[in-house]
Amino acid sequence: MPIKINYLLVSSPFCLRNLNHSIGVVMFKLISFYFKSVIILSLLLNQAIASSILETAGYGSTRGGLAIGNSFLGARFSLSNTTLITEIGGQVQSWSDDSYPSNWDFDRSVFFALIQTEGDFLYPTDTQLSNPIFSEKVELSWSSGNYSIGNDTLINVNQILTPGEYAIIFGSGLFGATGTGWMPYTYSHIEENTPDLNYLSYQPHSNTEWQGLNENGIEYSPRFIVNGVTTVPEPLTYHLLLIGLFGFLFIRSREAKFMKS
**pLDDT tens-digit series, residues 181-217:** 888 877 655 544 444 458 888 888 776 788 877 655 4
Per-residue pLDDT tens over the stretch 143-184:
655 555 568 899 999 888 989 999 999 999 999 999 888 888
Can you give the pLDDT at residue 192?
A: 46
pLDDT band, very low/low/confident/very high, at 243 (cuts 50, 70, 90): confident
Can you give the pLDDT at residue 164?
A: 92
Q: First vs last Cα of the chain: how many Å apart?
A: 35
Cα separation, 68 vs 52, in Å, equals: 24
pTM of the model: 0.66
The structural domains of the chain, with segments of one domain joined by +, span 2-48+235-260, 51-230
Can you give the pLDDT at residue 230?
A: 73
Can you give the pLDDT at residue 18?
A: 63
